[in-house]
Amino acid sequence: MSQLTGVNAPVGDPGTAYTPAGLGRGVVPLRPLQAGEILDGAVTAMRTYPGVILGLSALVVALGQAVAIPLDYLYLHFLAGLVNGNTTLGSGTGINDLALLRPGVLLNALIVSLLVGLLTTAVARAVLGRPVTLGEVWAQTRPRLPRLLGLSLVIFIVLFGVLALGMLPGLLLAAAGSPAAALVLLLGLGGAAALAVNRWVAWSLAAAALVLEDQPVRRALKRSSTLVKGGWWRVLGVSLLGLLVAEMVALVFSVVQQVVVGSNLSPVSDNGDGTYSGHHVSLMYVFLGALFSAGIQAVVSPFAASVMALQYVDRRMRREGLDIQLAMSARARRDGSAGAAGTAAGAGAVGTAPGGGPEPGNGPAA
């Protein structure tokens, strides 16, 4: 569906990059993308617009950590107050495990979803090889920011709610001392995890659809599910590859963080005799932990967000022939056709008509 013919057809290998006349050379070829091209395009977009993509990411992450620092501090002090010198080894390690789910860690899970929407404008311009400024990104996303925040919260609450509900029967049986608790917990967690992954993949393009197509939250979720349909495994695979690359980068920073901060964020400490005591968590170490976390997220999050944004463009090219539409629009603009002025020539400029077909929209390049 997406192979061009006629005078605008690419010459030679159909897998080579192709840019129609009227469009700049973008960070990815204007055709359905391979997994490696999506990952490479995400890195290229970051290198092409570092001030916008990395700068905006650093700003969002910094604001998130400013909220997380006092919450982390209060939460860790609360956990430390739950123990005393007679705490057993098991309960001590269990409380330290709870510290891994401190508010700052959970807040980071929201950041990537939010950044997908915020950075989609820049990535859409990068696909077309067109410049973009921070002011243009802000102008595009500012009216949609409340919906974008709402979308991120809805996805976060639903996914974690599914996991919590899946674990609940097993935890209740464990509290009652039932011998079947472990089996029920395992089955419940496995089923909940499968459902959560299914919804995470189906909704992974919702933020991009919300921003570029100006969709409300509910329709953005439905739009994402429609785009992912027929390519669920592909979207999952590329997303996991992106996460793997991001985690490898994050691991390097995490090693340094462990050396500097170490166990100072653990609310309980080992007494050396098999018991644990409450450990005073210093605000300085909470700040240092947040600083390292912000540094990691500022590098990793824009890459993950760019991968998701490029997957949105790829799915639209595969399902709706967006590359052909852009080529036709570019040729009309080049030839000065009568309708060219009203035709949008951007990756986000083609919206969805009420009947499901493409129509010009208010995209970043419109």
Ranges assigned E (strand) in the chain: 87-88, 268-270, 275-278, 350-352, 358-360
Q: Which residues pair with 346 in a beta bridge?
A: none
Which one, of 222, 221, 241, lies nearest residue 310 by Cα? 241
- Give the residue carrying structure tokens 């912000």: 294
C-alpha to C-alpha distance for 330 and 45, rounded to whole angstroms: 21
User: Which token pair is 232?
Assistant: 């669920």
Both tokens of 143, joined, read 């009216």
Q: What is the mean pLDDT of the chain?
A: 76
Q: What is the pLDDT of residue 24?
A: 55
pLDDT given for residue 30 in this prediction? 83
Residue 354: what pLDDT? 34
- List pLDDT tens digits, range 55-106: 888 888 888 888 888 888 887 777 776 665 555 544 555 666 666 667 777 7
- Please state the φ and ψ torsions of residue 327, each to the nearest 5 degrees: -65, -45
The pLDDT value given to residue 348: 42
The pLDDT tens digits of the residues spanning 35-59 come to 999 999 999 999 888 888 888 888 8
Round to whole Å and give the CA distance between 32 and 314: 6
Give the range among 196-200, 203-207, 278-282 with minimum mean pLDDT.
278-282
Answer whether 134's CB lies under 8 Å from 51's CB: yes
**Among 225, 169, 210, 167, which residue's Cα sits nearest to residue 309?**
210
Residue 107 has a pLDDT of 76
Tell me the pLDDT band of 197, cut-offs 50, 70 and 90: very high
Phi, then psi, of 270 in degrees rounded to 5: -80, 130
Helix, strand and coil in the chain, % to nearest 5: 70, 5, 25
The torsion region of residue 246 among left (phi > 0), alpha (psi -120 to 50) and beta comes to alpha
The answer to whether the beta carbons of residues 250 and 296 sit under 8 Å apart is: yes
Q: What is the pTM of this model?
A: 0.75
